Chain A
């Protein structure tokens, strides 16, 4: 029975370490590659984007597996203080699953998800302020660069044409 518990604990720890390492990789690798103050290499960027796409699912499965592992460990480990580290590792793996869903770029530059517009005649902008000007049919729209350079992406509909203004 003791040998069986020891074997269970080893397998559970191995599984948990694997889950933690995989989740860490899924979160840290894209973060390090897509770092604004370093050059991005095409191969690294392709891998990072692939991980960003599948990272949320992978880390969720990983967190689930870590929870199973810690339950098995808990049952096979009678000493309470020895349960602390595996539990902490599981919690951290769950945190990583959440982090894999966080868009840090939209945390830094908040999106303008519901853009609103005002008639040019009622707009109090300086005449020298720069705008991106678009005209579709008879509909003309100006996007002040001061705000678009912060939000970066404005999803819009102009004269029934869906467009995205970017800067």
Chain B
């Protein structure tokens, strides 16, 4: 940012979404948006890096050569349990939005893309396993991984193939598309058929509580709800 490599620190909270402060300029940044909200770099925006929230098993299967952040041993007793986000559903919030029949701590999968924002109830996506939808005018699909917990989103278009691909899911967690008859894996890449070697364009998902997602996306629409 501005020719500087910034080092961030936890520095506060804004309606239960935390603030970071960089030690180089003293600027305060909002975690969810990556926007500078106070200080010399106010108005700047950090560049998002694509990330997925996966189970370790799913990730290691894809990236056996990858590396993992190690625990800081002396703080391990203070770390959260594995189902931290679920147990947090009972915690109180300081803001709430009584809309769409959602509760403040409902876990949502949010997409900010194609000029709009749209959210999906996490439990609903897990149940449906393959969600075909539109974000703005763009066809998008959300797919649940073979572990039954990890979710990714892709543009529902096969590069170089005209028309809607019409994906459907197989029992083993792979999916097929009717347009090319190809088999696709959870990374969104065709592993057999005419489209073999082709990968779908990923769409960033943010897993967040309803109150926090709604607070920063006031115009959000919700899949399956009016």
Give A contacts to B, CB under 8 Å. Answer: 30, 34, 36-40, 45-46, 49-50, 52-53, 103, 105-106, 109-112, 115-121, 123, 125-136, 139-155, 161-166
Name the B residues within 8 Å of A135 (CB-CB): 50, 63, 66
Give B contacts to A, CB under 8 Å. Answer: 5-16, 18-20, 26, 28, 31, 37-39, 46, 49-57, 59-60, 62-72, 75-76, 78-82, 84-85, 92, 94-95, 147, 149
Determine the distance from Cα of A145 to Cα of B22 in the docked complex, in whole angstroms: 22
Determine the distance from Cα of A135 to Cα of B56 in the docked complex, in whole angstroms: 14
| Of the residues B5, B55, B68, contact of A123 by C-beta under 8 Å | B68
Q: Can you give 22 contacting A-B residue pairs, CB < 8 Å?
A: A37-B94, A40-B14, A105-B10, A112-B72, A116-B69, A121-B60, A123-B60, A125-B56, A125-B68, A130-B53, A130-B82, A135-B63, A141-B69, A142-B59, A142-B60, A143-B69, A144-B56, A145-B53, A145-B84, A149-B80, A152-B31, A164-B6
Asked if A120 and B66 sit within 8 Å, CB to CB, the answer is yes
Asked if B84 and A128 sit within 8 Å, CB to CB, the answer is no
Asked if B82 and A117 sit within 8 Å, CB to CB, the answer is no
Name the B residues within 8 Å of A153 (CB-CB): 8-10, 20
Asked if A142 and B68 sit within 8 Å, CB to CB, the answer is yes
Determine the distance from Cα of A142 to Cα of B67 in the docked complex, in whole angstroms: 6
State how many angstroms separate the Cβ of B10 from the closest Cβ of chain A: 5
Q: Which A-chain residue is minimally distant from B23 (CB atoms)?
A: A155
Asked if A133 and B10 sit within 8 Å, CB to CB, the answer is no
State how many angstroms separate the Cβ of B185 from the closest Cβ of chain A: 15
A128-B57 contact in complex given A133-B51, A140-B66, A152-B18, C-beta closer than 8 Å: yes
A111-B9 contact in complex given A130-B55, A132-B53, C-beta closer than 8 Å: yes
Name the B residues within 8 Å of A112 (CB-CB): 69, 72
State how many angstroms separate the Cβ of A152 from the closest Cβ of chain B: 5
Name the A residues within 8 Å of B68 (CB-CB): 117-120, 123, 125, 131, 141-144
Asked if B49 and A136 sit within 8 Å, CB to CB, the answer is yes
Determine the distance from Cα of A23 to Cα of B32 in the docked complex, in whole angstroms: 32
Q: Which A-chain residue is minimally distant from B32 (CB atoms)?
A: A166
| Of the residues B46, B63, B149, contact of A133 by C-beta under 8 Å | B63
Asked if A50 and B51 sit within 8 Å, CB to CB, the answer is no
Name the A residues within 8 Å of B16 (CB-CB): 36
| Of the residues B15, B49, B70, contact of A39 by C-beta under 8 Å | B15
A127-B56 contact in complex given A120-B63, A132-B51, A150-B80, C-beta closer than 8 Å: yes
Name the A residues within 8 Å of B75 (CB-CB): 110, 147, 150-151
Asked if B70 and A117 sit within 8 Å, CB to CB, the answer is yes
State how many angstroms separate the Cβ of A51 from the closest Cβ of chain B: 10
